Amino acid sequence: MFGYVRPRRDLLEQSAFESYHAAYCGLCRALGKQYGFRARFLVNYDMTFLYLLRSSAAPACGVEPCRCPAKLCGRKPCALDTEGYAPVCACTVILGYEKIRDNLRDEGFFKGLPYRLLRLLYRRAYRKAVALLPDFAALCAGQLSALHDLEAASSPSIDAVSDAFARIVAGCVDDVSDPGLRRPMEQILYHTGRFLYLADALDDLKDDCRKDAYNPLRYRFSVEEGSLSREDLDYLSQLTDSSVNLAGAALELLPIMAYRSILENIVYYGFPAVFYAVKTGRFQAKESLWKKRNDQSDHTGETI
């Protein structure tokens, strides 16, 4: 469920895009420094958004060129913010490890073997992250267990299932002490989590229908041939629009000193564009933001 929280590159100024890139590379570097090389593979756009949100109330940190394992020649600019990245790295490792455990639970013995290996590889990093954020790890375990119970009961409530996931995402800022910052951040992340769950459910709908697997949309709406009707799709779009509105209203209350244009781009442009791409079957989670595109004038969201 990673990769849905991303900016619309065509609507982001070059300097803001470079800051975003530096924050992403900085997260990758911090993961490597704090949890070992293999933790670098857990870096993703969603956790970059978490870092940008958490660090928005302070002036932007410095950037310096760093070595990148994916780029053998030359260096990449990385944001240097060891203190700011620490809780984000811990959340990234905990969520990544839970994702591995989740996949392992869903697969049979033979298909689950690669996940067993991954679980073993990331166990040490996970324990270190849990030592830093024990409450968040407990929250994750509790909410994922609640989510599994709801899925096992084939819950038709898209609110209940997305709530279980959204609470995990909102829990990423539980350690922020100032309520004037924490409450808006929690609301943004809660609705980000809701958005992620619903977008992922819609993206997986065809596959889940084919495999006869649980998908809340199958029980909430009438699904024909793996697709929702036009009316139901509009209804779902309106629900995600409301989430974007609530996240946007919360964003306006944050005393943002850094990364404003990126955060606004992600919430106001990125979310609707990603949902549109998912709705029309054009979303590709693995498509990189870093590739240079020839068509920079595409404003339809098809580039997402």
Partner 1 sequence: MKDPYEVLGVSRTASDNEIKTAYRELVKKYHPDNYANNPLADLASEKMKEVNEAYDAITRSRGSNGSPYQGGGSQSNQYNYGYSYGYGSANTGSSYAQVRAYINANQLDAAESLLNTAPNRDGEWYYLKGTIAYRRGWLDEARQHYQTACAMVPSNYEYQNALRTVQGGYTPYRQTNYQRSDMDDACNICQALMCLNCLCGGGGCR
Interface residues with partner 1 (CB under 8 A) are 8, 11, 157-160, 163, 166, 180, 183-184, 187, 190-191, 194, 220, 237-246, 248-253, 264, 268-269, 272-273, 276-277, 299-301, 304
- For residue 76, what are the β-bridge partners? 66
- Partners of 79 in the β-ladder: 63
Distance in Å, CB of 31 to partner 1, minimum: 30
Measured from the CB of residue 180, what is the shortest distance to partner 1 in angstroms? 7
Distance of closest approach, residue 218 Cβ to partner 1, in angstroms:
15
Taking the complex as a whole, the smallest distance from the CB of residue 134 to partner 1 amounts, in Å, to 25
Nearest approach in angstroms of CB 130 to partner 1 is 27
Residue located via tokens 């410095």: 62
Which CB sits closer to partner 1, 60 or 253?
253
Nearest distance from C-beta of residue 210 to partner 1, angstroms:
25
Other CB atoms closer than 10 Å to residue 106's CB: what's the count?
12
Say which residue the tokens 């024990």 belong to.
Answer: 134
Residue closer to partner 1 by CB (options 82, 245) is 245
Helix (H, G, I), strand (E, B) or coil at 78: strand
Distance between CA atoms of 48 and 290, rounded to whole angstroms? 14
Residue (29 or 191) nearer to partner 1, CB: 191
**Residue closest to 199 by CA, chosen among 145, 236, 153, 250:** 236
Query: With contact defined as beta carbons under 8 Å apart, do 4 and 270 qualify?
Result: no
Given a contact cutoff of 8 angstroms between Cβ atoms, the answer to whether 104 and 97 are in contact is no
Per DSSP, helices labelled H in 204-290 are 205-211, 216-220, 230-251, 260-264, 271-279
Which of 38/183 has CB closer to partner 1?
183
The CA distances from residue 294 to 52, 123, 291, in Å, are 27, 42, 10
For the CB of residue 221, give the shortest distance to partner 1 in the complex, in Å: 11
Residue (9 or 29) nearer to partner 1, CB: 9
Task: Match 């073993």 to its residue by tokens.
Answer: 120
Torsion of CA 253, 257, 258, 260, to 10 degrees: 40
Nearer to partner 1, 93 or 198 (CB): 198
Q: Which residues have C-beta within 8 Å of that of residue 174, sequence separation ≥ 6? A: 135, 136, 139, 182
Fill in the amino acid letter for 91: C
The helix (run of H) or strand (run of E) holding residue 122 is helix 113-132
Q: Rounded to the nearest whole angstrom, what is the least distance from the CB of residue 144 to partner 1 in the complex?
A: 18
Residue (140 or 170) nearer to partner 1, CB? 170
Please say which residue, 222 or 242, places its beta carbon nearer to partner 1: 242
